[in-house]
Chain A
Amino acid sequence: MRNTLIVARRELGAYFATPVAVVFIVIFLALQGVLTFNLGNFFARNQADLQPFFNFIPWVLLLLVPAITMRLWAEERRLGTIELLLTLPITQTQAVLGKFLAAWVFCAIALLLTFPFVVTVNYLGAPDNGVIAAGYLGALLVAGSFLAVGSAVSAATKNQVIAFVVAVAVCFLFAVAAYPLVTDFLAKNAPVMAAVARRLSITARFDSFSRGILSLRDGIFFASFIGFWLFVSILVVDQKKAD
């Protein structure tokens, strides 16, 4: 645990030592702002909630989270520092968890910085802040899910562009899994898979959070989803570290 935290602290420091942190946070806030207020008709709806904000957040995360994860392992391999890191007395599991934790905390910081939305909606009306809190929790879990996928993809390649594109593609699959586009296709060709796909949908799970519904099932889904992809990351790091 201690080693995981030491790795996480170093990683988090690295985000803020480079322009990565500032660029990410500024773009994230700008995108969320434009989407919520313009496309989301925040004001015209005349309702005191953050539904437009939460409608867009999985898609913004889908685009931006792989930009964080693409460097997680690919960068270590390019610089050769993976050889340094993995010959220190830490396990690969600690290294994978440490990096994931740092990236997740970073996403949490970015999410926290959206507080002006909450302030605005509270100033304009009387929203249900419990629903908003559930939405934020859901957003954090979506970010964690995409991060875990991205971590596994990044461990498989030295090339950051490939790491980014493949991570976006895989995350996109899990984001649209419950959309008619996918379920209709599967219902026609592989009916069994349609039900599975619906259950694996990140956006469908997130929707209940953003409506204020916290269920144990969704919690377990996110925990196992993140756990599964971190496990894959550990295996891939072990297989590919010295290539």
Chain B
Amino acid sequence: MALIEIDGLTKRFGHFTAVDNVSFAVERGEVLGFLGPNGAGKSTTMRMLSGFMTPSAGRARICGHDVQEAPIAARRSLGFLPEGAPTYPEMTVLGFLRFVAAVRGYHGGEAADRVAHALSLTTLDGVRLQPVETLSKGFKRRVGLASALLHDPPVLVLDEPTDGLDPNQKHEVRTLIARMAPQKAIIISTHILEEVDAVCTRAIVIARGRIVADATPKALAAMHPSGRLDDVFREITQKPATAEAA
């Protein structure tokens, strides 16, 4: 059984269809790069997968639990980093992670261990007593990441996990993802194409709410004579638009 199953997921806002009949599955050990231009429907798809947004049609399952019908069971198996990595600004890093640990059902020594482990995975030890609002963008992103990793979930859905990080931090996060990959099913959305090469075993490209490519990064790159991912990306995300215009 695939840990993530998405089946015919559709989201309409009035007459605008943001996500149009998207289906795919992600197995344990896969790191799926979810690519697409801004506004293509990446975040909307992830919001529906996390159960935050109710789909207009279709369903999503995490570890076999339907995210709408069994939301609590699905969310227990999910580590989710929402777009922009939102956190409560007035809380300290430690306070915030303790809150997440408590909601996740850990207490006492186990909660402390979980929090300590998440802090060390994301190298946040040095700032653990600082309020989140005083941190730089890269640190804030890592606080969000730490909260998603805290309960060591089988499924990770990360919306732009490396946005705002400096090159060293990006490298650390990618190494972390690669290290966790064998035990988990991971989806990361990104528009940084080098990231796909660096960590993803598979890439899905979405444009105007529809999947336009689903392949390994290598196969994807081979779709253009230049063999470069950004050429492929430009071609497959822009071509239908010009066709429609013509």
Nearest-Cβ distance from residue A233 to partner chain B, whole angstroms? 18
Q: How far is the CA of A88 from the CA of B78 in the complex (A)?
A: 9
| A17-B91 in contact given A87-B52, A87-B75, A242-B52 (Cβ < 8 Å) | yes
Residue pairs across A and B with Cβ atoms less than 8 A apart, 30 shown, are A3-B103, A6-B103, A7-B103, A10-B91, A13-B91, A13-B95, A14-B90, A17-B90, A17-B131, A18-B90, A79-B88, A80-B84, A81-B86, A81-B88, A83-B47, A83-B52, A84-B144, A86-B52, A87-B51, A87-B78, A87-B80, A87-B82, A88-B100, A88-B103, A89-B75, A89-B76, A89-B105, A91-B72, A241-B52, A242-B54
Chain B residues with CB under 8 A of A241: 52
Q: Using a CB-CB cutoff of 8 Å, which residues 52-93 of chain B contact chain A?
A: 52-54, 71-72, 75-76, 78, 80, 82-84, 86-91
Q: Of the candidates B47, B90, B99, which one forms a contact with A6 in the assembled complex, judged by CB atoms under 8 Å apart?
A: B99
Q: Is A161 an interface residue (CB 8 A)?
A: no
Of A6, A80, A241, the most chain B CB neighbours within 10 A belong to: A6
Q: Report the nearest B residue to A10, measured CB to CB.
A: B99
Of all A-B residue pairs in the complex, the 3 with the closest CB atoms, nearest first, are A80-B86, A242-B53, A83-B82
Q: Could you give, for residues 187-205 of chain B, a 1 whenever the CB lies within 8 Å of some chain A CB and a 0 otherwise?
A: 0000000000000000000
Nearest-Cβ distance from residue B135 to partner chain A, whole angstroms? 15
Q: How far is the CA of A7 from the CA of B80 in the complex (A)?
A: 19
Chain A residues with CB under 8 A of B91: 10, 13-14, 17
Q: Is A90 an interface residue (CB 8 A)?
A: yes
Q: Is B237 an interface residue (CB 8 A)?
A: no
Q: How far is the CA of A14 from the CA of B86 in the complex (A)?
A: 16
Q: Is B147 an interface residue (CB 8 A)?
A: yes
Q: Which residues of A contact B (CB under 8 A)?
A: 3, 6-7, 10, 13-14, 17-18, 79-81, 83-84, 86-91, 241-242
Chain A residues with CB under 8 A of B87: 81, 84
Cross-chain contact B104 with A88 (CB below 8 angstroms): yes
Q: Using a CB-CB cutoff of 8 Å, which residues 127-162 of chain B contact chain A?
A: 131, 144, 147
Cross-chain contact B78 with A83 (CB below 8 angstroms): no
Cross-chain contact B86 with A83 (CB below 8 angstroms): yes
Q: Report the nearest A residue to B100, measured CB to CB.
A: A88
Q: How far is the CA of A11 from the CA of B198 in the complex (A)?
A: 40
Beyond known contacts A13-B95, A87-B51, A241-B52: 14 more, CB 8 A cutoff:
A6-B99, A17-B90, A17-B91, A17-B131, A79-B89, A81-B86, A83-B82, A83-B86, A84-B80, A87-B52, A87-B80, A88-B103, A89-B72, A91-B72
Chain A residues with CB under 8 A of B71: 91
Q: How far is the CA of A13 from the CA of B102 in the complex (A)?
A: 15
Chain B residues with CB under 8 A of A86: 52
Q: How large is the interface on B (under 10, 10 to 19, 20 to 34, 35 or more residues)?
A: 20 to 34
Q: How far is the CA of A91 from the CA of B75 in the complex (A)?
A: 11
Nearest-Cβ distance from residue A16 to partner chain B, whole angstroms? 9
Q: Is B50 an interface residue (CB 8 A)?
A: yes
Q: Report the nearest A residue to B86, measured CB to CB.
A: A80
Chain A residues with CB under 8 A of B52: 83, 86-87, 241-242
Q: How far is the CA of A42 from the CA of B131 in the complex (A)?
A: 45
Q: Report the nearest A residue to B151, measured CB to CB.
A: A89
Chain B residues with CB under 8 A of A6: 99, 102-103
| A80-B75 in contact given A14-B90, A86-B52 (Cβ < 8 Å) | no
Nearest-Cβ distance from residue A30 to partner chain B, whole angstroms? 25
Chain A residues with CB under 8 A of B72: 89-91
Q: Report the nearest A residue to B84, measured CB to CB.
A: A80
Cross-chain contact A242 with B47 (CB below 8 angstroms): yes
Cross-chain contact B88 with A14 (CB below 8 angstroms): yes
Q: Of the candidates A14, A80, A91, which one forms a contact with B82 in the assembled complex, judged by CB atoms under 8 Å apart?
A: A80
Q: Report the nearest A residue to B79, measured CB to CB.
A: A87
Q: Report the nearest B residue to A11, measured CB to CB.
A: B88
Cross-chain contact A90 with B82 (CB below 8 angstroms): no
Q: Report the nearest B residue to A86, measured CB to CB.
A: B52
Q: How far is the CA of A70 from the CA of B78 in the complex (A)?
A: 31
Q: Could you give, for residues 101-117 of chain B, a 1 whenever the CB lies within 8 Å of some chain A CB and a 0 otherwise?
A: 01111000000000000
Chain A residues with CB under 8 A of B54: 242
| A88-B75 in contact given A13-B91, A17-B90, A81-B88 (Cβ < 8 Å) | yes
Q: How far is the CA of A87 from the CA of B83 in the complex (A)?
A: 13
Nearest-Cβ distance from residue B1 to partner chain A, whole angstroms? 21
Cross-chain contact A90 with B86 (CB below 8 angstroms): no
Chain A residues with CB under 8 A of B131: 17
Nearest-Cβ distance from residue B205 to partner chain A, whole angstroms? 24
Q: How far is the CA of A88 from the CA of B88 in the complex (A)?
A: 14
